Amino acid sequence: MRQEQEVQASTAASEGTPWAHGPGRPADIPETAVVLNQRIIARESLDSSVPAALKLKRRIKRFALDNELDHLPIGDIVSVALDEWLTTRGF
């Protein structure tokens, strides 16, 4: 029951935000795959903290081990996730 309430509150909060322009990518922003597939990419740093309860670091490490990956491009994963989130809101 509590989990359902949290999901509903989260959904309602994201739907009613005044900065939500709607779906779509601005014309001057390239597709994520196009950028990430380039040989040389200019990068900038994002400094962010995440909730410890989600145990993202541990889960990422486990994913890398389970998939026998030596290097997991966290920046690329974050880029895809944030780009999708912003694009759905029209930014």
Task: Look at the alpha carbons of 29, 32, 33, 37 in this order and tell me if their dihedral is positive or negative.
Answer: positive
Measure the CA–CA gap between 73 and 91, rounded to whole angstroms: 24
Answer whether 26's CB lies under 8 Å from 83's CB: no
Distances (CA, A) of 12 to 16, 71, 91: 6, 37, 19
* Candidate ranges 19-23, 36-40, 72-76; pick with highest mean pLDDT: 36-40
Measure the CA–CA gap between 56 and 14, rounded to whole angstroms: 22
State the pLDDT at residue 16: 53
State the pLDDT at residue 33: 92
**pTM for the full predicted model:** 0.66
State the pLDDT at residue 9: 46
State the pLDDT at residue 12: 46
State the pLDDT at residue 59: 94
State the pLDDT at residue 17: 57
